[in-house]
Amino acid sequence: MIREDIIQKLPYSKPFLFVDEILELDQDHIKGTYTFLKDEYFYEGHFKNNPVTPGVILTECMAQIGMACFGIYLLKDAWDQEQWSVAMTNSDIHFQKPVFPGEKVTVIGEKVYFRFNKLKCTVTMFNSEELIVAKGVVAGMAFKKQQL
């Protein structure tokens, strides 16, 4: 599976897609990047005259790269975007540094386990200076969409 194809198979689109590229990928880990553009919708009002990326958005970025992209890769041919979706089921993230508008981050996810369509990973986010921004654990699952 080509890395760009995985991003295309995500169930997200702008303005809620927080994956630019996947740099590394194998059965045990994933590494990807995202640049938080200066005009992202969530910077307005967070915080007045000093915008900072909200922690929930950093967590989402970590989950999209470290869990959703990784899960699609691990499911391989079983993944069908029309029939399947993904959902985060758990997160425990500890924040160490802020991320400002215009910053590029790198996320590394390492598999803890993958079974019964549930993936649990340790995730670490780094800034462009290779300093840890946030780290923790995310888990999620792939599920069949309900047919209307």
Give the pair of three-digit tokens for residue 46: 């967070």
Cβ-Cβ contacts under 8 Å for 143 (sequence gap 6 or more): 84, 85, 86, 87, 117
Please, what CATH class does the domain formed by 3-144 belong to?
A: alpha beta
Helix (H, G, I), strand (E, B) or coil at 89: strand
CA nearest to 124, candidates 136, 142, 111 = 136
46, 104, 144, 145: the active-site residue: 46
Residue 94 bears catalytic tag: no
What pTM value is reported for the model? Answer: 0.94
Could you list the pLDDT tens digit for every one of the 148 residues in the chain?
688 899 998 989 999 999 999 999 999 999 999 999 999 999 998 898 899 999 999 999 999 999 999 999 998 877 776 777 888 999 999 999 999 999 999 999 999 999 998 999 999 999 999 999 999 999 999 887 775 4
Helix (H, G, I), strand (E, B) or coil at 43: helix
Would you list the domain boundaries of the chain? 3-144
